[in-house]
Amino acid sequence: MEKIVIIPTFNEKENIEAIITAVINLQQDFHVLVIDDGSPDGTAAIVKSLFPVFPGQLFLEERRGKLGLGTAYIHGFKWALKKGYRFIFEMDADFSHNPADLQRLYLACADGAGVAIGSRYVKGGAVENWPSNRIALSKGASMYTRIITWMPVMDPTAGFVCYQREVLEAMNLDGISFVGYAFQIEMKFAAWKLGFSIKEVPITFKDRKLGASKMNKGIVKEGILGVLKLRWQSLFKNYRRRVSNKQYEMSVFPAQDVLVEGKG
C-alpha cells in the first residue's frame, strides 16, 4: 500500500481502459483510484468491468454529477489517506501525462521532496501538439501566478503531481477552495506556504488524442481571480490558518527552495 494514482474522469470512455492498463502494467506497484462524476458516456461501467482484471489494484469512487476537478481530487485524497497510501498521485485520464513518468515523480518524493511536480516549463520539459493559443494561455497563467504569488514554481497549473501523504495530512483539505485550474495552483501554494519542499521533474506533456476537453472560460476566470485572492489572503496569515491541519505537527519535510531535477 504505497502508491496510488488518482484519475478524475468526466466522459473518458475512449481513454479510461487504456490509461488504467498502462499504469498497472508498469509493474511498479501503482494502484489506481478513478473518481468519476457520473459520466453520461459510461466511463464508470468500463472501470467496473476491469475490477476482475486488476483485483485489489483498481478502485472507483462515483459521484452524482460533474462537481469539478478540485473536489474530485479532495475526495480522492481523503480516500487515499484513509487507506494508508504513502505516495498519492494526480494524473489526467487523457494520456497528456505519460504513465511512464510516474516512477520519476515517485523517486523525487522518495528522495525527500514533499511534492514532486511533472513540469512542462523547466529545462527538459516540453509540450507537444498543443495549439499555440493553449500554450500561450498555460504559460501566461504560470507567469502570472509567479508574479502575483512569488511562488517559485515554473509550472504551477500542472496536474501531474506526487504528494507525500504527510503533505496532504498537514493540510486542511476542506480549506482548499478552488475547483478548476486554480485548484492545481492552490494545492502547490498551500504546500509551499506550509513549508514543504517542492521538486519540479521535467516531463513532456501531449495534447489529448481522444475524447473532449473540459476546459472552459469559467476555469480561466477562476484562475485569474483565484490567484489574486490567494495572494491577498496570504498577506494576512488567514490563508495559512485556513489550509493547515492544526492537529498536525510539521517537521517531516522542512522548507527549502523549489528544486529542479538535474540541478541538485
Ligand X SMILES: Nc1nc2c(ncn2[C@@H]2O[C@H](COP(=O)(O)OP(=O)(O)OP(=O)(O)O)[C@@H](O)[C@H]2O)c(=O)[nH]1
Q: Are 179 and 66 in contact (CB under 8 A)?
A: no
- Contact between 201 and 108 under an 8 Å Cβ cutoff? The reply is yes
Cβ 220 to ligand X shortest distance, Å: 10
Minimum distance from residue 247 beta carbon to ligand X (Å) = 28
Find the part of the chain contacting Mg ion (CB under 5 A) among 46-54, 119-127, 187-195, 205-213: 205-213
Strands (DSSP E) contained in 17-100 are 30-36, 58-62, 87-90
Burial grade of 193 (CB within 10 A; 0-12, 13-18, 19 or more)? buried
92 makes contact with Mg ion (CB under 5 A): yes
Our CB check for Mg ion shows the closer of 35 and 170 to be 35
119: Cβ contacts below 8 Å, ≥ 6 apart: 125, 153, 154, 155, 158, 200, 201, 202, 203, 260
214 binds ligand X (CB under 6 A): yes
In this chain, which stretch among 2-10, 109-117, 203-211, 228-236 interacts with Mg ion, using CB under 5 A?
A: 203-211
C-alpha cell at 241: 490558518
Residue reference for cell 489526467: 92
Q: Which is nearer to ligand X, 52 or 131 (CB)?
A: 131
Q: At what angle do helices 181-193 and 132-149 cross, to 10 degrees?
A: 30
- Binds Mg ion (CB under 5 A): choice among 11, 39, 96, 234: 96
Candidates 14, 92, 155, 261; binder of ligand X (CB under 6 A) is 92
Residues 160-189, interacting with ligand X (CB under 6 A): none
Helix (H) or strand (E) holding 187: helix 181-193
Q: How far is the CB of 65 from ligand X (least distance, A)?
A: 9
> Is the C-alpha dihedral spanning 206, 136, 181, 209 positive or negative?
negative
58 near 32, Cβ under 8 Å? yes
Of 22-30, 108-116, 206-214, 244-252, the segment contacting ligand X by CB under 6 A is 206-214
Q: Is 215 in the site for ligand X (CB under 6 A)?
A: yes
Binding of ligand X by 10 (CB under 6 A)? yes
Structure letter (DSSP) for residue 41: T
The answer to whether 36 contacts Mg ion (rule: CB under 5 A) is: no
Binding residue for ligand X (CB under 6 A) from 86, 104, 146, 208? 208
Distance CA 232, CA 216 (A): 25
**Residue located via cell numbers 531535477:** 261
Stretch that binds ligand X, among 66-74, 80-88, 186-194, 195-203 (CB under 6 A): 66-74
Stretch that binds ligand X, among 50-58, 101-109, 164-172, 207-215 (CB under 6 A): 207-215
Residues 14, 37, 61, 94: which binds Mg ion (CB under 5 A)?
A: 94
Q: Judged by CB under 6 A, does residue 213 bind ligand X? A: yes
Where does this chain bind Mg ion (CB under 5 A)? 92, 94, 96, 208
